[in-house]
Amino acid sequence: MKQLNRLLEIIANIAAGRYSNDVMELTGPDASEPVRTIAEAMGLMMVKVEAREYHLEMLIKQLEEMNQQARRNTIATISSMAKALGRPCPIFDTTTNARTAVDIPNT
């Protein structure tokens, strides 16, 4: 019963997002067969969830970088078009995404 209570405590921690290797203590030969089987399955699921979370974090980082590059490219394109047309163009601060004041003559 002690092992089962410990397993339930570990499962509650995993469900709350607090991953640890504590579940591994219940996968050894000292654990009863049902507890060991459940502990092994929980350990495997936990590893898979952690791997998915890591993968998603990396995808988010890549998307953020691509978004910043797209913003820089858009601003560069608009600025180039404005220069080609001989018109002044507002300048954007790409670090804060804020438009900065530029002297634009009234024509």
For 36-91, write each residue's pLDDT tens digit.
Answer: 999 999 999 999 999 999 999 999 999 999 999 999 999 889 888 878 887 655 55
Q: How confident is the model at residue 92 (pLDDT cuts 50, 70, 90)?
A: low
Could you give the CA distance from residue 32 to residue 34 in angstroms, rounded to a whole number? 6
Per domain, the residue ranges of the chain are 2-99
User: What count of Cα atoms within 13 Å lies in the side-chain half-sphere of residue 52?
Assistant: 6
Rounded Cα gap, residues 38 and 40, in angstroms: 5
Q: What is the CA radius of gyration of the chain?
A: 28
Residue located via tokens 């995404």: 97
pLDDT of 105 above 80: no
Contact (Cβ atoms closer than 8 angstroms) between residue 99 and residue 92: yes
Alpha-carbon separation of residue 6 from 18, 27, 59 (angstroms)? 15, 12, 35
The per-residue pLDDT for 91 is: 58
